[in-house]
Structure 1
């Protein structure tokens, strides 16, 4: 975990999939993002797995593709 006075970064985890799917599948929430809207929970799980892989390789952060 990385922490400052204004930010807490925790390692991504699949336990956040439902909440993230609610955001990434919402038409309004994703209308101006570069990423495509998630149509299935598996889309979200794959995104989280990519974030986990990036964290494991770099010891911080997430990769936005």
Structure 2
């Protein structure tokens, strides 16, 4: 059975989270389209918060948006 692709907004959120948790700037946002940018920025903010809280590497695996 084929696995279904995640919806595009969820992928934007996950990509933003990955950028945020690695400590990179929000300037890495790949799009200016409002809906996708909002989702990407939400993921980026949560990723940055997790990075600041020390939720990186092994300690942050359970927090990954891809785990849920």
TM-score (norm 2): 0.41
Larger helix proportion of the pair: 2
